[in-house]
Amino acid sequence: MTVFSRSERLVVVGHRGGRGESWPRENTFAAFERAVREGADAIELDVRLCATGEVVVFHDPDLKRTSDGADLREVQHVPYLELATHWETPVLRDVLAFCNDRRVGLNVEIKYDAVDRARLVRRVIALLDEFPSLDVVVSSFDPRILAHARTLTDGVRLAMLTTTERKWSLPLARVLAAWRRLFAVHLERAHARERVVRAIAARGVHVGVWTVNEPAEARALRSFGADWVITDRPGAIRF
């Protein structure tokens, strides 16, 4: 599978599957299934460890947002069975199998705020080894997570995420791209100016942009040289 190596058209990546008023809960199989039905080429998701040690697909460090403030526990203190029952939370292994069966790509974001990052990275890489034919990119805002992943395997494809909240992230990503230490840079859309996209692409490094929800913006980014967009609306972005 070569989803993330395509060059003939923009690759559409469903952000946490998809998000919005009519969408199922983010980072669940219902969201991933809908993304695939809408034609997403790949799925983006977030991973962290829960209390019973599973690598679970969950964005936030705690349950506050997803419970509307009713439950303030951190995910690391909640057993997997409870997450699966009340939040429809899948484990990463099952999503890997899902993507492998449907021949869609997968972007696994390892959360920078995980408490035991080293253990999480080891577990993620071990799980990816079970699906050698799956087209996967591992991303993170934390370059130390990416460096640790690289020490575990030469085969993993790494993407650094940039954000305007961390002013150093874009300059560092550009340096790592120049040194060919990355497979891709995932730019926050505010960073995705034409000269930035072109400069990174000129190094032979792929460029993804998050979170892009308007087709016109996606077209413009493609014209700059972006390879994929991470979007809440995969059906709307396809063109």
- What pLDDT is attached to residue 130? 97
Query: How would you label 91-129 residue by residue, b for 16+ Cβ within 10 Å and e otherwise?
Result: bbbebbebbbeeebbbbbbbbeebeebeebbebbbebbe
Query: Of 55, 59, 200, nearest to 141 (Cα)?
Result: 59
Residue 1 has pLDDT above 70, yes or no: no
Q: Domain-by-domain residue ranges, the chain?
A: 10-237
173's CB contacts (< 8 A; 6+ apart) are 160, 162, 182, 185, 187, 200
Alpha-carbon torsion angle 64, 67, 71, 75, nearest 10: -60
pLDDT in tens, 84-121: 999 999 999 999 999 999 999 999 999 999 989 999 99
pLDDT in tens, 215-226: 999 999 999 999
Element (H, E) at 80: helix 80-87
- What pLDDT is attached to residue 203? 95
Whether omega before 211 lies within 30 degrees of 0, making that bond cis, reads yes
Fold of domain 10-237:
TIM Barrel (3.20.20)
Query: Of 67, 93, 24, 127, nearest to 75 (Cα)?
Result: 67
| Contact predicate 47/56, CB 8 Å | yes
* Average pLDDT in the chain: 96
**What's at 70, amino acid-wise?**
A
- Return the bridge partners of 110, or none: 47
| Rounded Cα distance, 238 and 12, in Å | 7
pLDDT in tens, 24-50: 999 999 999 999 999 999 999 999 999
What is the reported pTM? 0.97
